[in-house]
Amino acid sequence: MANFDPSKRDSFGTKFGVIAAAAGSAVGLGNIWRFPYIAGENGGGAFILIYLLFIIAIGIPVMLSEFTIGRRAQRNAFGSFKKLAPNTYWYLIGLMGVVAAFVILSFYSTVAGWTLEYIYLSITNAFADKSPDQLTTMFESFKSGTFRPIMWQLIFMILTAWIVIAGVKKGIEKYAKILMPILLLLIIIMDIRAVTLAGASEGLEFLFKPDFSKLDTNSVLEALGQAFFSLSIGMGTLITYGSYINKKQNLTTTAINVSAADTIIAILAGIAIFPAVFAFGIEPNAGPDLIFRTLPNIFQQMPGGYFFSLIFFILLGVAALTSSISVLEVVVAYFVEELGILRKRATIIAAVSITALGVLSTMSWGTFGEVRIFNFNIFELLDFTASSVLLPIGGVFIVVFLGWYLGKNYIKDEISSSGLYKTKLINLFILIIKFLAPIAIALVFLHGIGLLKF
C-alpha cells in the first residue's frame, strides 16, 4: 500500500455534483436500451408494475445501504468491508463486486460501441430514405461484423479510462454535472415527438396497461435484475461513490432523488420508443436490437430528424459514459487503495483487461455466435450472470451486512449524519433491510433460476 494515503482521498465537491454523478451512474444504457427491450420481451405494463414495486421496496433501501457503508468506511467496495468488519470474510462481497464490475463493463462497452457507430451513421445521414426493413438489415450486418464494432468498443473504453484517470472531482463529477441536465432535456424532446406520431396510442397502451397473462416465471427475476442493474446497485458502485460523499450530505434524500431520476428516465425512454415500435410495425420483443431498429425510423420521419438523431445518439453515448466510468471506478479504487497501484496505471490495467473480455462479448454477435452456454451467447451470458445473479446476491449480502452485522446504532448515526438529520423512517428501513429485502430477493432469485417452484 505504499502509494495510497487515506488522508489524500479524492471526494465529490458539491451536493448537486453527488446527485449528478450517482444519477449519471444509474441512468445509462440500462434505462434507454435495456429497460425498453426487457419490458417489451415481458409484455410491457405488468412487468413495469413489478419493476416499480422492486425499485421502491428493494432498490431504494439497497442504494441507501450502499451509501451508508461507503461513507462510513471511506474506502472502495472491497476495502469498506475489510475496514468495517476486520478479520471476517465479509470482504468477499466486495471482491464479488469487483468481479461484477468486470463482467458488466465487458458487455456494456459492446452496446456503448454500437451507440458510437450510430452517432457516426447520424452524422453521415445514413438513415435517410431507408425502409424499416433496410434499417434492420443495416444494424444486423454492422453488429455481426468484427472490425467496426470492436473499433468503437475500444474508442469507448479509451474515453471511459480518460475520465476516470482525471479523478473523482475533476473527472467523474465535472462531466456528470454538464451532461446529465442535457440528457434530460433531450429525452423530453424525443418524447414529445414520439407521442405525436400517428399510432402512438397502441405503444402507450402496451407500456401502461398491465396484462398479467404475458408474464412468465422468469419475468419476475428479470424485473428484479433490471431494477438492480438500472440503479447500479448490488456490486459496490454506490459504496464506492458513497465513500466520496461529504459527511454533511443527507444520504436518504440522495438515494430517493437518484432512484426517482433513474426511474423517471426509464419510463420516459419507454414513452420515446414504444409508440414508434408500434407505429412502424416492429415487434416489441425484438430483444437487444430494439432501439437501434426503431429510433432511426422516427428520426428520418421527423422535421429536423438529422439534427435530433445526432443529438440523441450522442446523448445515449454520454449516458453510457457516465455509467461506465462508475463501473470502472469500482475496479480502479480497489487497485489503488488495496493493491497500492497508482491511479493512472490502475486505470489502464483495469481498462485493458476488461476490454479483452469485452471483445469476446462483441464478437459473440458474429464470429463467436456459435458459442452457446445454457442457450446464451457470450454477451447474453455475461449480462445474465451480472444482472440476474451477481447483483441480486450482492444486494442480499449488502443489506444483511448493514442490518445484522453493523446494526441499528451504527445505521442511525451514519444516516442522520450524527444527528444532523431526522431519521423518522429508520425503523421501517431497518425492518426492510433485515427481513423484507433479503427474503424477497432470495425467493425471487431461487424461483427465477428454477431451484424453487411455487
Contact residues for ligand PHE, defined by CB under 6 A = 25-26, 28-31, 104, 229-230, 232, 235, 237, 323, 326-327
| Cα dihedral 437→439→444→450 (10° resolution) | 160
Nearer to ligand PHE, 98 or 282 (CB): 98
Q: Smallest gap, in angstroms, from Cβ of residue 415 to ligand PHE?
A: 22
- Residue of 13, 2, 10, 361 whose CA lies nearest to 176: 13
Nearer to ligand PHE, 17 or 97 (CB): 97
Nearer to ligand PHE, 229 or 244 (CB): 229
Q: Smallest gap, in angstroms, from Cβ of residue 122 to ligand PHE?
A: 21
| Cα dihedral 361→172→82→398 (10° resolution) | -70
Nearer to ligand PHE, 197 or 295 (CB): 295
Which backbone phi and psi does 373 adopt, to 5 degrees? -125, 125
Helix axes 91-123, 391-400, angle to 10 degrees: 140
The gap from C-alpha 135 to its chain's centroid, in whole angstroms, comes to 27
Nearer to ligand PHE, 29 or 223 (CB): 29
Nearer to ligand PHE, 305 or 329 (CB): 329
Nearer to ligand PHE, 111 or 279 (CB): 111
The maximal CA–CA distance of the chain, rounded, in angstroms, is: 65
CA–CA distance, 168 with 326 (Å, rounded to integer): 10
Single-letter residue type at 98: V
- Residue of 126, 303, 125 whose CA lies nearest to 197: 303
Q: Smallest gap, in angstroms, from Cβ of residue 314 to ligand PHE?
A: 16
Single-letter residue type at 322: T
Q: Smallest gap, in angstroms, from Cβ of residue 319 to ligand PHE?
A: 7
Nearer to ligand PHE, 64 or 200 (CB): 64
Q: Smallest gap, in angstroms, from Cβ of residue 199 to ligand PHE?
A: 29
What number of residues does the chain have? 454
Q: Smallest gap, in angstroms, from Cβ of residue 326 to ligand PHE?
A: 5
Give the DSSP letter of residue 376.
B
| Whole-Å CA distances, 349 to 12, 46, 419 | 24, 43, 42
Q: Smallest gap, in angstroms, from Cβ of residue 329 to ligand PHE?
A: 9
What are 376's strand-pairing partners?
373
Q: Smallest gap, in angstroms, from Cβ of residue 233 to ligand PHE?
A: 7
Judge contact between 276 and 298, C-beta under 8 A. yes
Grid cell listed for 280: 412502424
- Residue of 72, 31, 65, 66 whose CA lies nearest to 51: 31
Residue nearest to ligand PHE (CB): 30
